[in-house]
Amino acid sequence: MLDWSDAGRGVFYRPVKRQITLRLDADVLAWFKQRAPGGRGYQTAINRALRDHVQQHRNAAVPRVSE
């Protein structure tokens, strides 16, 4: 039997990244940058926050836009 107790989750999974231009409020960007050690990793933190939001609301009804 294999022992998977030391296995790391998601070690080999790399989601496809796409470069975009995104405008954020200055205070929101500053908040993420202040919490990033040495100013590094703030984009990953923003992506994580967006992913968490999407996962929490994935099954929510999408409001219809009337024309």
Query: What digits encode the pLDDT tens for the residues 9-43?
Result: 777 777 889 999 999 999 999 999 999 999 899 99
Instruction: Answer left, alpha or beta for residue 38, where phi above 0 means left and psi between -120 and 50 means alpha.
Output: left
Per-residue 3-state assignment (H helix, E strand, C coil) for 21-48:
CCCCCHHHHHHHHHHCHHHCCHHHHHHH
pTM: 0.67
Count how many Cα atoms sit within 13 Å of the Cα of residue 19 in the half-sphere of its side chain.
0
- Token code pair at residue 49: 């926050």
